[in-house]
Chains A and B, each alone.
Chain A
Amino acid sequence: MKSKLKRLPLLSRDKLGPSSKFGGFDVVLFIILLIYALLIIFPFYYLFIVSITPHNIYAETPFLLWTPEISFDSYKAVFTESKIWNGLGITLILLFGGTAYQLFFTVITGYALSRKGWFGQNFVMNMIIVTMFFGGGLIPYYLLIESLNMKDTIWVMIIPGAIDTFNMLLIRNYFASLPKELEESARIDGANDVQIFVKIFLPLSLPMLATIGLFFAVGNWNSWYNGMLFNHSNNLKTLQQVLQDIIVNQSSAIPNPNQAKITPESLKVAAIFFTIIPMMCFYPFLQRFFIKGIVVGAIKG
């Protein structure tokens, strides 16, 4: 698995010719990219400092880039807020349940469509492609969800996401690229389509499954749109919806136990970091999976 990922043409070849030396051009590039990377990092850095600065220092310091006194009171206030934990609970249900559900339906559909020549294959494929160009729009979708009685249930955030067409085509193309002989020899041994899929194709596509699973997982972690449309009761709000509440009306959404010590800004930031720290920790190690997904999809699709 590792070797496969390393063979990606991303960072591999140096095409600058044997003669080129490290010169002024490289220095300029280095500086531009450094500034770009700092522009990405700066908002996180600055707001993190805001979140750990006590109120009195925040009020006194004009340009807060460093704090002499660290206080985690805003994080304590966020951690003791039951809304946040409730939102985290809902989001974790989506993260595990929703991801498994989406992965299952997306992958079996991708496998079936990757096999050529069965009855109805072209018809189903065209039926799916049409939906990439045309849709009914928000209102008919909204009325459909209403008529299915899925409003104000957790199902509305899971069930309508069963198949993601982009990811489905990604895994379909991957299955189609595996050698045909694998299937033929298994068929001679008497295996049926389900056995071939489970015993031969799935084990061979674990890196791809990881990629797609991660895309789904990120989507579920960030899920708020369906919740915003259909779920308004507090106990069904996802973590992102809770965060939205805190940001839009922070004073009422989260009680500030210690006005003198905690700024309203630091409360907001603490809530934001609560949702992004898990991603920050995992992302550097998972980045190659995401990149693999988009590169394979682009070249084959």
Chain B
Amino acid sequence: MEKVLIKDRQSFKYSLVKRVKASKFLILMIIPAIVYYVLFCYVPMYGVFLSFADYSISKGVLGSIFENWVGFDNFIFIFNYPKFTEAFLNTLLIGSLKVVVSFLGAVLVALLINEIRMRFFKKAVQIIVTFPHFLSWVVVASLFLMLLDKTGIINKVIVAAGGQDLTLFSDGKQFIGLLLSTDVWKEAGWGSIIYIATMAGISSDLYEAADIDGATRLQKIWHITLPGIRPTAILLLIMSVGGVLSAGFDQIFNMTSQLHNSLVIDSVEIIDTLIYSNTIASKSLDEGITTAIGLFKSVVGFVLVIVTDRIAKLCGERGII
């Protein structure tokens, strides 16, 4: 294709009009995409100027930006707003724990599935453990809330064995643990697929050579398999750092929707739930302020990706940018 076009350029007396003409069908095919991305991605991007203004419904977004400009007032407000600081710290904590836990979970599952040798069992396990990824958090949250509820079987068994009632839904720290473990339950199997594929691509010569040297299976895992998936792992880690500040709105929203314990709800209040509940569910914060919170989140997320990428490169890894 490249070559054909270069030939075209020479024979056609290369000009803009002719270049457009030569690719008119492709340009027609891309027009919907341009409209789509401008409308649904770039128009909201200009909306971030709202974070320097007070929103009023009657003036609309543009009118509010031009007429109610307040400079950095919204940012000054959010940095002095204790609920925001708390939500930001919660987000960092939950988000980074999730990145670490789900990474370790996926690698561990991949190692187990890669090492097991019974073909049929391997396939069956893979089908079972990847399935929960395709359920919505509406379903998964309710499964676990019922399973671990006071009337659920787990609590009954613990109490019958002489233990205390579970306090998962009334203790903030335990609830964060529950968020992490349900996340692993849902996603570890699916996350392992990429690592299994990478492991399958490791040259079998390495394993044969290790066999000749008399290496045990654990040694082979440590010295061959794990280094073999390192580039993939670093790449995926850098990408997941961008999502640290998202920390899982779907999960937290659905898992707290039935709780009435405000202590627990406060301890898992993240940036996204703060924005949702203060401007969309109720109108307690001005749109300008929650837009500022959103902008802060995007900027910090972007910086985190860049910084992680730099660190990875300094350590001699490939990086993504």
Which A residues form the contact surface with B (CB < 8 A)? 8-20, 22, 25-26, 29-30, 32-33, 36-37, 39-41, 43-44, 46-47, 50, 62-65, 105, 108-109, 111-113, 115-121, 124, 127-128, 131, 133-144, 147, 160, 162-163, 180, 183-184, 187, 192-194, 197, 218, 222, 224-225, 229, 240, 243-244, 247-248, 265, 268-269, 272, 275-276, 279-280, 283-284, 287, 290-291, 294-295, 298-299
Contact = CB atoms under 8 A, between A and B. Distances in A.
B294 A138 contact: yes
Contact of B125 (A8, A33, A111): A33
Nearest to A188: B4
A29 B131 CA distance: 21
Q: Specify the main secondary structure of chain A where it touches its partner.
A: helix
13 contacts: A9-B200, A11-B123, A18-B211, A33-B112, A44-B143, A64-B153, A111-B29, A116-B1, A138-B290, A139-B279, A144-B44, A222-B136, A276-B135
B193 A47 contact: no
Contacts of B142: 243, 247, 268, 272
Interface string B137-159: 01100111111000101001100
Contact of A224 (B33, B138, B202, B204): B138
A137 B298 contact: yes
Contact of B291 (A19, A41, A109, A140): A140
B261 interface: no
Given A120-B27, A124-B33, A279-B134, A9 B242 contact: no
B138 A265 contact: no
A247 B44 contact: no
Contacts of A124: 30, 33-34
Given A40-B132, A112-B33, 10 more contacts: A37-B125, A40-B131, A40-B185, A63-B156, A108-B32, A139-B50, A141-B44, A284-B127, A290-B130, A290-B134
Interface stretch (B86-94, B162-170, B250-258, B310-318): B250-258
A13 B200 CA distance: 7
Q: Specify the main secondary structure of chain B where it touches its partner.
A: helix
B305 interface: yes
B197 interface: yes
Contact of B194 (A15, A120, A294): A294
Given A193-B23, A294-B194, A120 B30 contact: yes
B85 interface: no
Interface string B54-80: 010000110000000000000000000
B33 A184 contact: no
A44 B145 CA distance: 13
A295 B302 contact: no
Interface string B31-63: 011101101111111111010000100001100
Contact of A248 (B39, B48, B202, B258): B258
Interface residues of B, number: 107
A264 to B, nearest CB: 10
A22 B36 contact: no
A193 B24 CA distance: 9
B223 interface: no
A291 B110 CA distance: 14
Contacts of B198: 298
Contacts of B117: 14, 16, 22, 26
A50 to B, nearest CB: 8
Q: Which has the most chain B C-beta neighbours within 10 Å: A12, A134, A160, A163?
A: A134
B121 A16 contact: no
Contacts of B12: none
A51 to B, nearest CB: 10
A82 B47 CA distance: 40
A40 B47 CA distance: 43
A137 B295 contact: yes
The 4 closest A-B pairs by CB, nearest first: A140-B47, A137-B294, A136-B44, A118-B23
A19 B211 contact: yes
Contacts of B200: 9-13
B30 A140 contact: no
A40 B139 CA distance: 14
Contacts of A295: 193-194, 197
Nearest to B21: A119
A113 B27 CA distance: 10
Contacts of A229: 280
Given A11-B119, A41-B128, A276-B139, A140 B61 contact: yes
A160 B62 CA distance: 21
Contact of B211 (A17, A137, A141, A299): A17
B302 A142 contact: no
A11 B131 CA distance: 18
